[in-house]
Amino acid sequence: MMNIKFNLHTHTKYCDGSKDAEDMIEAAIKFNYQIIGISSHGPLPFSSDWTMKKEDLNIYIEEVKKLKKKYKKDIKVLLGLELDYIPDYKLDYIDKKIFKSLDYWIGSIHFLGQYKNKEYWTVDYNLNELKKGIQESFEGDVEKAVIQYYKHMEDLVKNYKPDILGHLDLIKKNNEGNTFFSEKESWYRKSISSLLNKVEKSNTVVELNTGGKYRGYTENYYPSNWILEEIKNRDIPVTISRDAHDIDSLDFEYEDSIKLLKIIGFNKIYYNNGKKWVRTDI
């Protein structure tokens, strides 16, 4: 289907992944990957049980660098991080020296606001957290909350220029059956269009992410098919990602995700070789 097999969105035990980086690399070799990017969730400015601890960051970087050398004859290993844009903090809490060590980074948004007790809440944990968050941070106004989510994403793309925009519409994770909103609503479509306007003017690559479907949260991938159609119409570069947190997810619907892109009309996708983005036919 393609002359190269790759994944740039891979988590490890440094964050909420279930395996060590070396386990994921060895699995990638088993699945005939030529490139594997390790991209654990980077540290946050407050405590969290699903991201890397600040004191582990340099250890993580050095470990992946050693694994690059160890497996260089078998697979190209890339060093990445998934970094979170957080309301109020944005990405200014991150030491910019980190970027010099990385081959690439994924910019994502999980947090959307704070409860009344000042604790940050995420859009993707569970239904109750999202309901409570929207109620306490946005007076229960779903439209206002979702529009703000995409405004933050616009700021992420415009001002921080991530190499990859992670799971663009993650906010739909707890919206199966239109629990909160319909993606057909004009205000929602307008928010997507506004975001894609910013992406179109950037050098950021959008990922097709199979993680939500693998874990049974969504019926389709991130982003939704109609958004992929918009991305295709704007000629925005796309890559494919597993968002792998365990070994089985690393090869989940790899060929199916490429087939979907072909059905939509894509004939090329992008991968990073550690030095630059490369376009390949599908």
Task: Determine the angle formed by the axes of helices 127-138 and 142-160, rounding to 10 degrees.
Answer: 90
**CATH at 120:** 3.20.20.140
* Structural domain includes residue 108: yes
Is residue 1 a part of any domain in this protein? no
pLDDT in tens, 187-211: 999 999 999 999 999 999 999 999 9
DSSP class of residue 248 equals G
Would you give the distance in Å from CA 211 to the centre of its chain? 9
- At 18, list the tokens: 């279930």
Does any domain span residue 231? yes
**Closest by alpha carbon to 56, among 92, 86, 13?**
13
Whether residue 221 is contained in a domain is answered as yes
Q: Is residue 216 part of a domain?
A: yes
Whether residue 33 lies inside any domain: the answer is yes
Rounded Cα distance between 47 and 50, Å, is: 9
**One-character DSSP codes across 64-129:** HHHHHHHTTTT-EEEEEEEEE-BTTTBTTTS-TTHHHH-SEEEEE--EEEE-TTS-EEESSS-HHH
Alpha-carbon distance values, 206 to 99, 198, 231, 281 (Å): 19, 12, 9, 17
The total domain count for the chain is 1
Rounded mean pLDDT for each run of 10 residues along the chain, 282 residues in total: 91 98 98 98 97 98 98 98 97 96 98 97 97 98 98 98 98 97 98 98 98 97 98 98 98 98 98 96 95
Please report whether residue 122 resides in a domain: yes
Kindly tell me the sign of the dihedral angle through the C-alpha atoms of 199, 200, 204, 208: positive
The model carries a pTM of: 0.98
180 within some domain: yes
Cis peptide before 87 (omega within 30 of 0): no
Give me the domain span that covers residue 40.
Answer: 6-281
